[in-house]
A and B are shown apart, each in its own frame.
Chain A
Amino acid sequence: MSARLPDPAGALIDRGRPIAFTFEGRDYPGYEGDTLASALWANEVRTLSRSFKYHRRRGVLTMAGQDANTLVQVGPSPNVPADRLALSPGLAASAVNTWGGVERDLWSVIGRLGRFLPAGFYYKSFFRPRWAWPLWEPVLRRVAGLGRVDTGAAHGDYDKQYMFADVAVIGAGPAGLAAADAAAAAGAEVVLIDENARLGGSLDYARVSGDVRARLVDAVAAQPAITVMTDTTCNGCFADNWLALIHGNRMIKLRAKAIVLASGSMEQPVVFRDNDLPGIMLGTAAQRLIRLYGVRPGRRAVVLCANGDGYGVALDLIEAGVTVACVADLRDAPGADARMEEVRARGVPLRPGATVREAVAGRDGTLSGALVAQVTGRGICAAPGERFECDLIAMSAGYMPTGALACHAGGRMVYDDTCHTFRVADAPHGMTLAGSVAGVHDLDAVVADGRAAGARAAGGDGGPAREPDDAGLNHPWPIFSHAGGHDFVDFDEDLQVKDIRDAVAEGYDHIELAKRFSTATMGPSQGRHSLLPTARLVAEATMGEVGATTARPPFAAETFGHLAGRAFEPVRRTAMHARHVEAGARMMPAGMWMRPAYYRPKHRREACIVEEVAAVRENVGLIDVSTLGGIEIRGPDAAEFMNRVYTFAYLKQPVGRGRYVLMTDRTGVIIDDGVACRFAEDHFYVTATTSGVDAVYRAMLWHNAQWRLAVDVTHVSAAYAAVNIAGPESRGVLAPLCADVDISAEAFPYMGVREGRVAGIPARLLRVGFVGELGFEIHVPAHAGEALWDALMEAGRGRGIRPFGVEAQRLLRLEKGHIIIGQDTDGLTHPLEADMAWAISRKKPYFVGKRAIALHEKVGLTRKMVGFEIGDAASLPEECHLVVRGAEITGRVTSAATSPTLGRVIGLAYVAPDQSEIGNTFTVKIAGGKLVEARVVKLPFYDPDGRRQEM
């Protein structure tokens, strides 16, 4: 059996290229250019899926990918619209939402229980008694829902692209083609977007005389300034003409100076009993089957119409060899229409003022007949009606503008009571509507409207937009509810007329409320066919205006892959990165950077770290600190600027000396620390924390945007590579490399800073107590970082120099009681509670945070940071373990480790102020709920007098 029409019907298919495919395990033939739905319909397979709730048979509705009736599972991809899925060799698809296959779906028994499952039934059922929900949940999850998610599916390749255009034209029907042509003619770079494989829109399938399509398509092809993007769905329209386009596995972000929305309109179904049987489709769907795919939509048809287009459908059907049993026209007195006269002349029985009252299912569950009855009032028809045998009902009762994209960017749908249709109002600035989305349907007017819109979007004079001409296209009330139900308003969610009425009766008396309670318009088709009847029913029940729900992106389904794009996580590497890797370092992320955690084998992690600590404490170690931030401050006001942005005093800092810096924000919270090196009266070089430097730099510039001090502030983190060589032997290693800098203890004291050459490389040397040993921080131009590293490793070879990583650094610094900003401080820590009052200059007239710190002082401390020790070596707290006093939480641990140097557990913690005395004990609740006693000790834990770093 084949419903395939002879050549030339089927503009998209290539009869020379047959394709074999399977559906539900059975083999079928099709052609290149077919969609899965068209090929199945050609094979007279009419049940493509089962509905969401009642598991009713569903077939073709739109043939445009706009409905949920044709969702299928293809391999790991759930819910693929079969009427947009291109047929490919070996394609194997199955219906979604069935138990035992689409033909004998065992869940269809639920359909018979329909009257026990009103809208909102799950809100009312299943949740009481509470213990019953876990029993119901797996059942409901199995019955409801559509396709299956394959969690084992292979990764796909998705990516993203940026595009720019003067004018983006969305929709390549007659309006869009004309608009693109006119915009390009006016000098604009144009991107023309259409979701279909072929340009033309309705010109490809509607009953059009002449060669309009060829003329418009040729004109577009002749314009080199038009980029044509077919098979591309515009899924979202965002602020300032930012469009999200989906093309295959790619998301394109298109910024346009202007947008012409020529997205057309969607034909709307009629509501009557059993209006969802396979074989009942939109008139345009029948036309698409015939003209695009060469498929006869049925053998014997009833056309149900409310406008002249329906007679065009009837003529198309007749020409395709379909017997038209009857044309039922909802209108009592259809106006003069040549198409109607032609249908009459062909001897087709016409029934003006009539509707299909009820569709009749055959033995196979698909459409076998229609009861056509006289309309006797609004939504009322006479019983029982005249029976016509048919396997096709084509519905043409009105249109809905495809205005969702305009609504994404702030537009609204407003009901026009005269023409019984929605109109797009308040379209966003920069967007022009053209064609039937703007209510213009006459083909000549559509082309003229598109041309005018295109020219205007390109900044030219296109003349005024055409006025809507759609009076008489939409029937005011194509809704014929039936006492027996099955009069579906929303096919996605199996919602019937009474579900909407019940929702309003329950008190959900606004379209947005009724929508959420009933789930109308919330299914995969997003109300494309259900919004209009739902809105009308709610308005009728509330005696209010017809309101619309809010359209939000995406317009069509998109995958997480589209949103995620490629996995792209760039990291920064220091100049010495290769050396670390060669030395066997385990690298770890530190902010945006990669840093060595420790060197050599992973299975010896703990031992490596302990050895590295010992090397620094007893001999000499070398660490890459290139990730430290660096900021240059130069100018006559440099010292004044430093004095304002940091808490310490810098006016009298001598040249050649370094000084600790602590930065607070206006609320007195600690935000960064580092060392300020004064290399000249008007020149400071300041270090900042790796992750904080960007914000510090920005804060500095923000302050000076207001202060207008005479300084240059420059972010030089990436310009310098840096190392710290530390340990009692460090001077001995470094000295032979320093020809022009005297690094003796007398000439280069602790906290001194010098400029000179190290191994011939221009360098800045800082004598800081980074890890609490004699040590030198050496900053050199980044390109020389590796040479510096090599020179120091070579010079230290005889003394057993050892590189050390971040893990050892943290231990060494914790032993010295140094806090880590962001680990030991949080978003509320001020210097007083961090015990850093020593870093605040109270004599200064001004610094950022001064008043707030004074206020904190006035209010008093609520917590205090202390150093602690724990006697039991087996009781090592982790970060954020709580300090408790009975039932009260008084603080938390911020850092803790077993000190290799001291041989006991040490750490930093916030405790209540009255717990912070040296020698006091407090309780920490560690892993497993174990309570451990900790004792407050004086900081630093190691070398309290700082003798070792000042050697």
Chain B
Amino acid sequence: MKLMPCPLNGPRNITEFIYGGPVVAEPDQNACTDREWTDFLFMEPGHAGVAREWWCHAATAYWFIAERDMVSDEIIRTYPAAELFADRKGDP
């Protein structure tokens, strides 16, 4: 079974984690086109390269970000979400 190096809990079995989808910037709901919004909802990146993904350690409900090679399935790096989302997000 794969190990996930959780930034909070250290290496744990992958079954303790929940995949949360790719990290994608959310378009402005009130300003974007219908197409931009539906693409955001339903089009997932499928490139052969490094993906940036949300993962949650279920037992501690801790969300973090993992960078994973989608070809080799190697987890390259994990880090707290605060590294990408540092500031309070006001109303769009």
Contact = CB atoms under 8 A, between A and B. Distances in A.
Contacts of B1: 238-240, 242, 253
A240 B56 contact: no
Contacts of B89: 706-709
> Most A CB atoms within 10 A — which of B61, B73, B87, B91?
B61
A377 to B, nearest CB: 46
B56 A702 contact: yes
Contacts of A698: 18, 56, 58, 61, 63
A846 B38 CA distance: 17
B81 interface: yes
Contacts of A706: 26, 81, 85, 89
A855 B88 CA distance: 28
Given A242-B1, A852-B37, A708 B85 contact: yes
Interface in B1-28: 1-3, 18, 20, 26
Nearest to B34: A855
Contacts of B37: 851-852, 855
Contacts of B26: 706
A600 interface: no
A240 B63 contact: no
A667 to B, nearest CB: 6
A852 B30 CA distance: 11
B41 interface: yes
A705 B2 contact: no
Given A239-B1, A666-B41, A846-B29, A710 B81 contact: no
Nearest to B64: A705
B71 interface: no
A273 B82 CA distance: 71
Nearest to A714: B61
A715 B41 contact: no
A700 to B, nearest CB: 9
A845 interface: yes
B92 interface: yes
Chain B binding surface, main DSSP class: loop
A701 interface: yes
Contacts of B41: 666-667, 852
A1 to B, nearest CB: 52
B86 interface: yes
B54 interface: yes
Contacts of B38: 855
A764 interface: no
Contacts of A99: none
B87 A845 contact: no
Contact of A239 (B2, B34, B82): B2
B42 to A, nearest CB: 8
A688 to B, nearest CB: 14
Given A698-B18, A852-B41, A708 B87 contact: yes
Nearest to A666: B41
Given A850-B29, A851-B29, A708 B61 contact: no
A166 to B, nearest CB: 14
Interface in A841-874: 845-846, 850-852, 855, 858
Interface in A628-657: 637
A649 to B, nearest CB: 13
Interface in A191-235: none
B88 A701 contact: no
Interface in A678-728: 697-698, 701-702, 705-710, 715
Interface string B31-67: 0101001100100000000000010101001010000
A643 to B, nearest CB: 9
A667 B37 CA distance: 10
Contacts of A702: 20, 54, 56, 63
A667 B87 CA distance: 25
Contacts of B3: 239-240, 255
A858 B35 CA distance: 13
A846 B92 contact: yes
A259 to B, nearest CB: 14
A501 to B, nearest CB: 38
Contacts of A709: 88-89
> Most B CB atoms within 10 A — which of A637, A706, A710?
A706
Nearest to B65: A705
A845 B92 contact: yes
> Most B CB atoms within 10 A — which of A697, A851, A855?
A851
A748 B92 CA distance: 38
A425 to B, nearest CB: 16
Given A239-B1, A702-B54, A707-B89, A715 B61 contact: yes
Given A242-B1, A845-B30, A845-B92, A705 B61 contact: no
Contacts of B61: 697-698, 701, 715
B52 to A, nearest CB: 13
A708 B86 contact: yes
A845 B88 CA distance: 16
Contacts of B56: 698, 701-702
A82 to B, nearest CB: 34
Contact of B2 (A240, A855, A858): A240
Interface string A442-472: 0000000000000000000000000000000
B54 to A, nearest CB: 7
A845 B31 CA distance: 11
B9 to A, nearest CB: 15
Contacts of A846: 29-30, 91-92
Contacts of A850: 29
A253 B1 CA distance: 9
A705 B26 CA distance: 13
A97 to B, nearest CB: 37
A637 B26 CA distance: 21
A297 B50 CA distance: 59
A855 B86 CA distance: 31
Nearest to B42: A667
23 contacts: A239-B2, A239-B73, A240-B3, A253-B1, A255-B3, A697-B61, A698-B58, A701-B61, A702-B54, A702-B63, A706-B26, A706-B89, A707-B89, A708-B82, A708-B85, A708-B87, A709-B89, A710-B88, A715-B61, A851-B30, A851-B37, A852-B37, A855-B38
Given A240-B1, A702-B20, A845-B91, 18 more contacts: A239-B2, A242-B1, A698-B56, A698-B58, A698-B63, A701-B61, A702-B54, A705-B81, A707-B88, A708-B86, A708-B87, A709-B88, A715-B61, A845-B30, A846-B30, A851-B32, A852-B37, A855-B34
Closest 5 CB pairs of A and B: A851-B29, A705-B81, A239-B2, A240-B3, A705-B63
